[in-house]
Amino acid sequence: MKHPEQHQSQWRIPFFSIWTGQQLSLIGSQVAQFALVWWLTQTTGSATMLATATLVALLPQVLLGPFAGALVDRWNRRRVMVVADSLIALVSAWLAYLFWTGAMRPWHVYIIMLARAMGGSFHWPAMTASTSLMVPGEHLTRVAGVNQTTQGARDIVSPPLGALLLSLLPLHVIMAIDVVTAAFGILPLLFVRIPQPERTVTAGGRPSLWGEVREGLRYMWNWPGLLAMLILATVINFLLNPAFSLLPILITKHFGGQALQLGWMNSAWGIGVVFGGLTLSVRGGFRRRITTTLSGLSGMGLGTLLIGLSPATAFPLALGAIFIAGFMNPITNGPVHALFQTVVAPEMQGRVFTLIGSACAAMSPLGLAIAGPVADALGVQVWFTMGGAVCISMALSSLFLPAIMHLEDNHGADRVVTREAPVPASVTAGATE
């Protein structure tokens, strides 16, 4: 379905009004998250507490993701974003109150992480699915590049900004800043109209929530190219997320470095992501998005492989390698994200995006559970080497899989699962709110 603004040059003002507010909100959230994690570290000194808090933050995406996606496809997406952002702002306000009154306790962190993650589980698919209806298809890859660039910039800026604010302000003021930035994210949503996908009402009425979740699963299962990309994404997350989580061990045990060397590696990754995102936003990649993604995956695999193969005396080589991996990260993720926004039917995007996100999120704890013992037994560099080699192999083998290479040629509008013959068009839902 073509969205109403697709052929209008004025799409930039409404879209970037919302986008700018969301970026400000994300900066506030990341700074608050940094301050909260640092407070938890200082208060408890417990790695178990930190690991449990991380797991709690992952659970909503893994367990609620498919249902959140079905609800996003069912509900008005603008209202979903307003409610989700408002929930996160209320949690931050409660957090500010707890710090202000001195009532904050470590166990509150679990409730806060869970609530914020639940809001994010609804907000992310609603924003992603709305983007494909607000941005013309030919600009989706560049917008994805801009998103990747700002994400890398936030990852670079937020930790030192959080540390600076911690040295200047009490914690309740930092949490209040998060509330203010959340308001910047909500405000444009109150005034900008977001197109809604057309929904056909069937004679049998709307299916149950579980029925719509099953539709999303069948939609992906019956599309070999989309299913293959889901498998690729889960394998990549299974291999690479644990590798980079174990980066401190690589620095200390293999390279014999300290916090300074770890900081250089993190900065090299972040700078690479920023430059990769800028390159994608300016150049847009190859004509076929899947070619750009597979090229990026090969480069990201090469960078990861070089990190694992770097001798203990060649830390500068590892530094250059992680820059390459960071540079190729947006080249990999941006085009495939835009590709999904283009080929997946708009009324199915909430379910498809959350199914992919849930599967990928589930791979992080599973990968860490396996990577930890492997790294202890064989050395953490073995996991980097294996992860990089597998990524290169998957990228090269995908070039010979027609289901993947021709994914861009197949649109999913005709793949929506039909339950009964549609009722005449006069009772179908409108395209915009």
pLDDT digit string, tens, across residues 4-20? 444 445 788 888 888 89
Residue 196 has φ and ψ, to the nearest 5°, of -110, 145
How far apart (Å, rounded) are the C-alpha atoms in residues 115 and 223? 34
Residues 28 and 162 occupy one common structural domain: yes
Residues 13 and 146 occupy one common structural domain: yes
- Adjacent-strand bridge partners of 422: 202
Give me the mean pLDDT over the 83-111 stretch: 89
| CA 338 remoteness from chain centre | 13
How far apart (Å, rounded) are the C-alpha atoms in residues 21 and 150? 13
How far apart (Å, rounded) are the C-alpha atoms in residues 125 and 337? 12
Residues 186 and 218 occupy one common structural domain: no
Q: Which DSSP symbol is given to 64?
A: I
**% of the chain at pLDDT higher than 90:** 19
**pLDDT value of residue 205:** 56
Residues 367 and 222 occupy one common structural domain: yes
**pLDDT value of residue 48:** 63
Residue 419: inside a domain: no
**pLDDT value of residue 306:** 96
Give me the mean pLDDT over the 278-301 stretch: 88
Residues 219 and 174 occupy one common structural domain: no
- In this predicted structure, the answer to whether residue 397 has a pLDDT above a threshold of 80 is yes
How far, in Å, are 6, 185, 191, 203 from residue 121 at the CA level? 27, 16, 23, 31
Residue 424: inside a domain: no
**pLDDT value of residue 45:** 66
Residues 248 and 309 occupy one common structural domain: yes
> What b/e readout covers 82-120, taking b as 16+ CB neighbours within 10 angstroms?
bbbbbbbbebbebbbebbeeeebeeebbeebbbbbbbbb
Give me the mean pLDDT over the 284-308 stretch: 91
Residue 422: inside a domain: no
**pLDDT value of residue 388:** 94
**pLDDT value of residue 429:** 30
Residues 189 and 272 occupy one common structural domain: no
Nearest to 93, CA basis, from 31, 186, 176: 176
Residue 420: inside a domain: no
Residues 271 and 397 occupy one common structural domain: yes
**pLDDT value of residue 2:** 44
- In this predicted structure, the answer to whether residue 419 has a pLDDT above a threshold of 90 is no
Average pLDDT, the chain: 81
- In this predicted structure, the answer to whether residue 144 has a pLDDT above a threshold of 60 is yes
**pLDDT value of residue 423:** 30
Provide CB contacts within 8 A for 180, sequence distance 6+.
Answer: 28
Min mean pLDDT across 26-35, 364-373, 379-388 is at 364-373
Maximum separation of any 2 CA atoms in the chain, in Å: 72
Residue 138: inside a domain: yes
Nearest to 395, CA basis, from 309, 331, 348, 347: 331
Helix (H, G, I), strand (E, B) or coil at 286: coil
- In this predicted structure, the answer to whether residue 318 has a pLDDT above a threshold of 80 is yes
Domains contained in the chain, number: 2
**pLDDT value of residue 200:** 54
Residues 237 and 347 occupy one common structural domain: yes
Which CATH number fits the domain that encloses residue 31? 1.20.1250.20
- In this predicted structure, the answer to whether residue 398 has a pLDDT above a threshold of 90 is yes
CB-count burial class (<10 Å; 0-12, 13-18, 19+) for 25: buried
Residue 208: inside a domain: no
- For the chain, the residue count is 433
Q: What confidence category does residue 411 fall into, taking pLDDT thresholds of 50, 70 and 90? A: low
Q: What is the pLDDT of residues 32-80, one digit of tens each?
A: 887 887 787 778 766 567 667 767 777 777 777 777 777 787 888 888 8
Residues 267 and 134 occupy one common structural domain: no
How far apart (Å, rounded) are the C-alpha atoms in residues 433 and 431? 7
Provide CB contacts within 8 A for 384, sequence distance 6+.
Answer: 243, 250, 304, 305, 307, 308
Domain C-terminal end among 136, 167, 195? 195
Residue 422 has φ and ψ, to the nearest 5°, of -70, 150
Instruction: Answer whether 267's CB lies under 8 Å from 152's CB.
Output: no
**pLDDT value of residue 50:** 65
Residues 157 and 255 occupy one common structural domain: no
117 lies in which domain range? 1-195
Could you tell me the two tokens for 299? 């480069």
48 vs 428, higher pLDDT: 48
**pLDDT value of residue 420:** 37
Residues 224 and 176 occupy one common structural domain: no
The half-sphere exposure of 351 on its side-chain side, counting CA atoms within 13 A, is: 27
How far apart (Å, rounded) are the C-alpha atoms in residues 20 and 287? 28
CB-count burial class (<10 Å; 0-12, 13-18, 19+) for 297: buried
**pLDDT value of residue 4:** 45
Min mean pLDDT across 233-237, 282-286, 337-341 is at 282-286
Residue 433: inside a domain: no
Q: What is the pLDDT of residues 207-237, one digit of tens each?
A: 677 777 788 788 888 888 888 998 998 999 8
**pLDDT value of residue 199:** 62
